Amino acid sequence: MSAVILTARHALGRVVEGLALVAHDGFSARYDLDRIAGVFSRPTHALAGQSYVDRILVLDTAKGGVATAWMLHEMQSRGVVPRAIVLNTVNPILAQGAAFGGVTLLAGFDVDVTAAVAHGATLRLDPARRTLEVLAAPG
The residue extents of the domains of the chain are: 4-136
Burial class from Cβ neighbours inside 10 Å (0-12, 13-18, 19+) for residue 56 reads buried
pLDDT classification of 67: cutoffs 50, 70, 90: confident
Mean pLDDT of 8-17: 98
pLDDT at 64 over 80: no
User: What integer pLDDT is reported at residue 86 of this predicted model?
Assistant: 98
The Cα 96–Cα 111 span in angstroms is 24
User: What integer pLDDT is reported at residue 60 of this predicted model?
Assistant: 97
Q: Between residues 68 and 79, which one has the greater pLDDT?
A: 79
CATH architecture of 4-136: 3-Layer(bba) Sandwich (3.50)
Cβ-proximal residues to 129 (8 Å cutoff; 6+ apart), any chain: none
